[in-house]
A and B are shown apart, each in its own frame.
Chain A
Amino acid sequence: MKIVNVTHGSFYALGAYAASSITGALLAQGMPPSLSYAVLLGSALLVTLVVAPLIERGILRFMYAKDEVVILLITYALFLILEDVIKLVWGVNPYFIAEPYGLLGSFDVLDLTYPYYNLILVGVAIVCGAGLTWLLGSTRTGKLLVAVIHDTEISRAMGINVERMYLFTFTFGSLLAAIGGAFTAPTVSVVPGLGVEVIVLSFAVVVIGGLGSLPGAALGAVIVGLVRSATIHYLPQAELFVIYLVMAMVLAFRPRGLFSLAEARKI
């Protein structure tokens, strides 16, 4: 959509908070833990469908004509506001739901113990990635979206409902963030500030992969994840900044990221 969206981090946090609070509440009321996975997904859906359209219709819709930097700052402002809204709604104490994670147990690979839950995380990621690729490439909606991204004026002239496309895109994108947060929630302690770290990492991933490229983002995420884990294991002192180092190095050699879209001739 050509907007750099800091609010994405907020949806990650919202997903995590909604998932942990709802799942926690339902578990306390006797819901069988095996259903918790569906609840995680459901909570993410719920919170996104409520908040995203509000933001897009209420504020963003009026801002698309502005400079891309201004839009970024607007999403940053919204992020700040949502951070405190989360604090107001859920309080500052950490949430923790262990059941979805612990239920599945773990298995041994070589001399490492690997939890089954992480396989679910990987699975969810793959499903989302594949789904998004299919959506953009093979469905009518997806193709319309690509058209809108390239040129809103012509798309409008051809009768595409650009406003509806934008609403859909923003909501869907936020949903992915919320799902990410919801499914990560069982593995961490959900506290304020969850959205902050993730958003900077996400930008690093997207920049490394190349803007606008889905395979790039996937590759970028894998690289970021592997580098981080390797660093924590072998060189813990570098953990905090190694990812930025990778980002700087990638940009130095591939100024537009690893996979970049072709550019039209200018003169």
Chain B
Amino acid sequence: MAAILDARGLHKNFGAVTAASDINAAIEKDSVVGLIGTNGAGKTTFINMITGYLKPDRGRIHYEGRDITDLAPRDVTRIGICRSFQIPQLYASLTAFENMMIGIGVVLRNAGRGGFFSRGRPLVPGYDLPAEDVADSILQRFGLAEYRDRNAQVLPGGVRKLLDIALTLVAKPRLLLLDEPTSGVSAEEKFEIMEMIMQAVRAEGITVLFVEHDMEVVSRFAERVLAFYDGRIIADAAPGVALSDPEVKRFVIGGELRRLDEARAGTRA
């Protein structure tokens, strides 16, 4: 299977902090990869470098054979890589529908449609429907139709997360990077939400990378796991293998399981 994304030798330092140290990863087309690791291990930095928000100090990133290391986030989006955020990045003063419409407007403009001289209702590339229909259909797919006309800032946490992810589909990405898609969501809902996301996404044949702290979610949805620790990738295998790796157990899961046990025993407030 061809590699849709290939990161080679990525290094990134912020002063004394090493956020990435010799990161190498080749992501296969159509696969679903889980990124695990404790906070500060370098997962979001990895995503930030792929999407051009940060430039690596050393190393190159290739997407579909093309070197994208120096591209800005807007160019990375235009070529087919979209991402969601740990903290949902929404337009607070606009409604959910308007949030979608802004994104769709940008896609139209990038395709040369809907500009100053155009007439009628232009069709959104990839969907072949007018903008409003695309917005409504995506909102529907994520179960957000009832929040259509409510301002983003008053939406409940889980809904904001879903909207943030829904926005990523507007540009018809071929590679999707989800940064903690289920964080801030109750334990019972995590699976439901991941199901909904995966269904909406996999139907389009999109390659997915997702950052996740819940190991059960990872085992269930990921075909492959990349474990991060201290800026390095310490494991790269199928979930069954990666999650039993002693280093992973020690540096990643160990922390998670300990917190889970403590939560169950009620020793944490």
Contact = CB atoms under 8 A, between A and B. Distances in A.
B183 interface: no
Interface string A245-267: 00000000000000000000001
A265 to B, nearest CB: 9
Interface in B39-64: 44, 48, 53
A230 B200 CA distance: 68
Contacts of B86: 267
Interface residues on B, range: under 10
Contacts of B48: 267
B124 to A, nearest CB: 26
B91 interface: no
B234 to A, nearest CB: 24
B244 interface: no
A267 B45 CA distance: 10
Interface string B80-91: 000001110100
A19 to B, nearest CB: 46
Interface residues of A, number: 1
Interface in B70-103: 85-87, 89
Interface in B198-227: none
Contacts of B87: 267
Contacts of B89: 267
Nearest to A267: B85
A267 B51 CA distance: 12
B51 to A, nearest CB: 10
A229 to B, nearest CB: 40
A188 to B, nearest CB: 47
Contacts of B44: 267
A267 B48 CA distance: 9
A267 B43 CA distance: 12
Contacts of A267: 44, 48, 53, 85-87, 89
Contacts of B53: 267
A72 B167 CA distance: 35
A54 B91 CA distance: 38
Nearest to B87: A267
Interface of B: 44, 48, 53, 85-87, 89
Question: Closest 3 A-B residue pairs measured CB to CB?
Answer: A267-B85, A267-B89, A267-B53
7 contacts: A267-B44, A267-B48, A267-B53, A267-B85, A267-B86, A267-B87, A267-B89
